[in-house]
């Protein structure tokens, strides 16, 4: 069995503290690589620094999260394009649409999201999408701008019907440990019905903390340590009635394929 890949986290987040000790714990837990997602232009350089310091471990993703859409400054599209070209393994993330929050409004979020889809498609890069209570706006955005060939719905919590509308467009779906909560069992049911080759695993650390019984690396403030990934994987494997080794190998291969990484 090869190591796990965390398909989505935010290691640059200051709440995680010392990156070196976090990464050491991840490696000790058997994690081989991770996709580190920026959230706004302000943290692109932090993600870039991590990728430079740990080139064999960190694959950067640069983008503007819907919660930060209002912070986009003129010329961001050119700066984002230049970064993506500079790092050939990088992807766009985290971008998306969110109606769970009121501000910034979906009207502010949408053009920022559509521009990121366009750049991802032009450069043939994967896009990691956050979509919360905004499925119809997402499909509307795809009518304006077709998504790139492959894109990841991270911490996917949509229905199987939504998944079936997304799959022909190139969607992949990542599972985060937060959905191991008993009251979120509907999400596991959806993952049971997804084509196995489209399933990825993520932590979304430092957010989306799994329930305490699946947390091998507790952090103060109930933050999610990215080294919790193997426990999340093993628990999901049980729920999907497959072996831990099979799910680890499958999701690793799916992540390599989704992000076209080596
Ligand atoms: Zn995230």
Distance separating alpha carbons of residues 204 and 219, to the nearest angstrom: 14
For residue 19, how far is its CA from the centre of ligand 1 (angstroms)? 17
For residue 205, how far is its CA from the centre of ligand 1 (angstroms)? 8
pLDDT reported for residue 88: 97
For residue 2, how far is its CA from the centre of ligand 1 (angstroms)? 24
Distance separating alpha carbons of residues 226 and 117, to the nearest angstrom: 27
What is the CATH T-level fold of the domain 4-259, as seen in this structure? TIM Barrel (3.20.20)
For residue 37, how far is its CA from the centre of ligand 1 (angstroms)? 7
Domain spans in the chain, listed from the N-terminal domain onward? 4-259
Reduced to 3 states, what is the DSSP secondary structure of residue 147? coil
**Helix and strand totals (H; E) in the chain:** 9, 8
Distance separating alpha carbons of residues 93 and 29, to the nearest angstrom: 25
pTM, two decimals, is: 0.96
For residue 98, how far is its CA from the centre of ligand 1 (angstroms)? 12
Half-sphere exposure of 217 (CA within 13 A, CB side): 24
For residue 85, how far is its CA from the centre of ligand 1 (angstroms)? 22
For residue 120, how far is its CA from the centre of ligand 1 (angstroms)? 18
pLDDT reported for residue 1: 56
Distance separating alpha carbons of residues 21 and 254, to the nearest angstrom: 27
For residue 239, how far is its CA from the centre of ligand 1 (angstroms)? 24
Residues 6+ apart with CB under 8 A from 9: 34, 35, 36, 37, 202, 203, 204, 205, 226
Distance separating alpha carbons of residues 150 and 121, to the nearest angstrom: 9
Distance separating alpha carbons of residues 12 and 2, to the nearest angstrom: 25
For residue 15, how far is its CA from the centre of ligand 1 (angstroms)? 14
For residue 260, how far is its CA from the centre of ligand 1 (angstroms)? 20
**Where does residue 194 fall: left (phi above 0), alpha (psi -120 to 50 degrees), or beta otherwise?**
beta
- For residue 243, give Cα distances in angstroms to 100, 192, 234, 235, 240: 35, 14, 8, 10, 9
For residue 145, how far is its CA from the centre of ligand 1 (angstroms)? 22
Block means of pLDDT (10 residues each) for the chain, length 262 residues? 90 95 97 98 97 97 98 97 98 97 96 98 98 97 98 97 98 95 92 97 96 92 96 93 94 97 86
For residue 183, how far is its CA from the centre of ligand 1 (angstroms)? 21
């Amino acid at each position: 069995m090869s190591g796990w890949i965390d398909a989505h986290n935010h290691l640059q987040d200051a709440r995680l503290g010392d990156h070196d000790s976090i990464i050491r714990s991840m490696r000790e837990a058997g994690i081989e690589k991770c996709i580190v997602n920026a959230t706004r232009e302000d943290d692109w350089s932090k993600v870039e620094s991590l990728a430079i310091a740990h080139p064999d471990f960190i694959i950067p993703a640069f983008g503007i999260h819907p919660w930060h859409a209002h912070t986009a400054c003129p010329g961001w599209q050119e700066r984002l394009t230049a970064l993506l070209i500079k790092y050939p393994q990088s992807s766009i993330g985290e971008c998306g649409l969110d109606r769970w929050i009121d501000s910034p409004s979906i009207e502010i979020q949408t053009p920022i999201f559509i521009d990121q889809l366009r750049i991802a498609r032009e450069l043939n890069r994967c896009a990691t999408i956050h979509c919360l209570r905004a499925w119809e706006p997402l499909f509307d955005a795809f009518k304006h701008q077709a998504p790139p060939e492959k894109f990841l719905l991270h911490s996917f919590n949509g229905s199987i019907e939504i998944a079936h509308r997304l799959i022909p467009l190139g969607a992949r779906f990542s599972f985060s440990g937060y959905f191991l909560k008993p009251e979120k069992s509907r999400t596991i049911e959806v993952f049971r019905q997804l084509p196995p080759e489209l399933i990825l695993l993520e932590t979304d650390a430092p957010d989306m903390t799994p329930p305490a019984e699946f947390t091998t690396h507790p952090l103060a403030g109930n933050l999610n340590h990215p080294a919790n990934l193997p426990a999340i994987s093993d628990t999901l494997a049980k729920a999907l009635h497959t072996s831990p080794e099979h799910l680890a190998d499958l999701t690793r291969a799916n992540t390599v394929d989704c992000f076209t990484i080596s």
